Amino acid sequence: MKNLPVAIPETAQGRIITSVGGLYTVETFSGICTCKARGIFRKRGITPYVGDYVQLSEDGVIQEILPRKNSILRPPVSNLDQIFFVVSTCHPAPNLLLLDSFLTVAIYQDIQPAVVLTKMDLHSGEQLEKLYTDAGIPVYPVEYDKPETVAAVSELLAGKISMMTGNSGVGKSTLLNAIDPSLQIATGEISEKLGRGKHTTRQVQLYPCAGGYLADTPGFSTFEVEQYLQMDKERIADCFPEFQPYLGQCRFSDCAHVCEKGCAVVEAVQAGKISKSRHDAYVSLYQTAKQRKAWES
């Protein structure tokens, strides 16, 4: 990336778009500049994230990190608007429990999730599409012989910071190349191309794509663990959009919606109004959060 020698006004604010080895590329209204963070940040254990809005001093030092809308740990990115979970109908087969966990983490973090279905030509995606549409999660089936299905995803990127994640081989590179051919990501090699090769000092970056920015793209496994282990068990049900009509309708006001008598959510599962696999995922996340709390205290 080219660094323009720009004079930064004293009150300049900008957004970090690249981070490597303690150096940050910040996009401001007057251009792009390379910045360091104040020494005090390190002492206080504060790490600026890619995606952060920051206040710069005249000599291009990051003085302050403006409040974050959200942040994820791996990759360290903040202020994400949306996450696309790319799921292939087959090869590899979807892991719904994992997908549900990630969807929940995203909503918990106030990041709009969407499911992108690939390999629709090899296996029907109808059931998956219905499952998640019914759950209140936007679903975008991509079929390469129907360019409008690629355009539907591409249009969502404009003006937003997005992340695209999914297991190895689901077709992330293929989709990104279809959205923006100039990316020229070799299929099967997205990891290297997007800066997560074998280097020890990892570069995290926002890539311009379709009028927005795309954050570094990890596989599912890196988006995992620490995120959902931190969830407060009482707030998990709020992250299942399809539970919302039933919350507050249970017999007991402290209902955990796991297996209690008079639970409106469990009744909706039994009546086929909420999918069993989604509720199973909820129970699993709830139990994990509960065990963590018991272990901590």
Ligand X SMILES: Nc1nc2c(ncn2[C@@H]2O[C@H](COP(=O)(O)OP(=O)(O)OP(=O)(O)O)[C@@H](O)[C@H]2O)c(=O)[nH]1
Structure tokens at 19: 């981070």
Residue from 181, 115, 145 nearest 173 by CA:
181
Sole binder of ligand X in the list 51, 75, 94, 171 (CB under 6 A)? 171
Q: Which is nearer to ligand X, 41 or 144 (CB)?
A: 144
Sole binder of ligand X in the list 190, 239, 285, 289 (CB under 6 A)? 190
- Residue 50 is given by DSSP the state B
Sole binder of ligand X in the list 10, 58, 110, 121 (CB under 6 A)? 121
Contact 203, 18 (CB under 8 A): yes
With CB under 6 A as the rule, give the number of residues binding ligand X. Answer: 19
257 binds, among ligand X, Zn ion, none (CB under 5 to 8 A by kind): Zn ion
Q: Which is nearer to Zn ion, 172 or 278 (CB)?
A: 278
Residue from 25, 5, 22, 8 nearest 205 by CA:
25
192 interacts with ligand X by CB under 6 A: no
CA-CA-CA-CA dihedral for 136, 291, 252, 247, to nearest 10: -10
268 interacts with Zn ion by CB under 5 A: no
CB of 164 to ligand X, least distance (A): 9
Helical ranges in 45-116 per DSSP H: 96-108
CB of 134 to Zn ion, least distance (A): 19
Contact 84, 171 (CB under 8 A): no
- Residue 252 is given by DSSP the state S
Pairing mode of beta strands 77-78, 82-88: unpaired
Sole binder of ligand X in the list 122, 158, 225, 229 (CB under 6 A)? 122
How many Å apart are CA 102 and CA 83, to the nearest integer?
Answer: 10
Q: Which is nearer to ligand X, 155 or 189 (CB)?
A: 189
Residues binding ligand X (CB under 6 A):
118-119, 121-122, 144, 166, 168-174, 187-191, 219
Residues binding Zn ion (CB under 5 A):
250, 255, 257, 263, 265
